[in-house]
Structure 1
Amino acid sequence: MFSLIINGERHKVDAAPDTPLLWVLRDLLGLTAVRYGCGQGLCGACSILVGSEPVRACQLPVSEVGGRRVVTLTGQDDAVSTQLRAAWIELDVPQCGYCQSGQLISAGALLRRNPKPSDADIDAAMSGNLCRCGTYQRIRAAIHLAARRLRGAS
């Protein structure tokens, strides 16, 4: 039995220690915004925040979460996530949308630690998130737009 803090709520889950957190979130807690992509930590679709860092939920055993806070896309409700979602919509970032929860998690983590990222900063922070539709230029533009708005510049 594990006690987890997910999106600000405490949950007790009965899972084997080596169960990937992805399956705990999706199957045991019904948090389906966390997507299964490759199952090998290569695509970023299953990205969540553990503390303030993006982590691949498919590679993190539930036993390693400990008392750290876990946040999924649906648990983000701050100014950064609000501005990112608005920019995503305004610039028509998603096509199929499958990777977007992981993209938004990584983009949010970047903007929380670097409010004025360069193209190189964005490329480095987003390099672990694959988009089958190839909307990388729009992703970068949306991150810049959200960053400008968060700094008070239009």
Structure 2
Amino acid sequence: MKILDTTALDFAAKSGVALTEEFYATPDVLDEFEVGHDRRLPRNVRNILEMEWFDRATYLRGYKEMLNAYGGRSFYNMTGFGDISILALLYTQRAATAEMLPGLSDEIYLVTGDKGLTKKVRREFCDKADSFSKTVRISKPEEYFRP
């Protein structure tokens, strides 16, 4: 699974990178991107909540937990929710892989240039002593989209 945050979508749009793989983004990230750009998203960037296989109930539970755990959001300016939604997506994927045998879950690539989000993802999902932490990879957009 390949997940894009707003910085990755911005980088791809500004650099003219053709997104040829299938990527996922959360509705908050898609909204943040559309507010800042006067263009449509590439067809292969999918809204994770529109996928039939995605567990929306677990996502909402994770969203609530992450919303309460992390500050830095503004309801007035509607900022900071993209990070929360990505943390909730990873929370959902961790729950989905909890009952799998180690090594059977797919790797998850998060493409982000956001240092704050990277730190939160590492704290929540990469620094744990579980099999899920071994599947999460974080890449900066300029490294991931390198020609």
Q: Under TM normalisation by the shorter chain, which class is it?
A: 0.3 to 0.5
Structure with greater proportional helix content? 2
Q: What TM-score do the two structures reach when normalised by structure 2?
A: 0.35
For normalisation by structure 1, the TM-score amounts to 0.34
Q: Which has the higher contact order (CA 8 A, sep 6+)?
A: 2
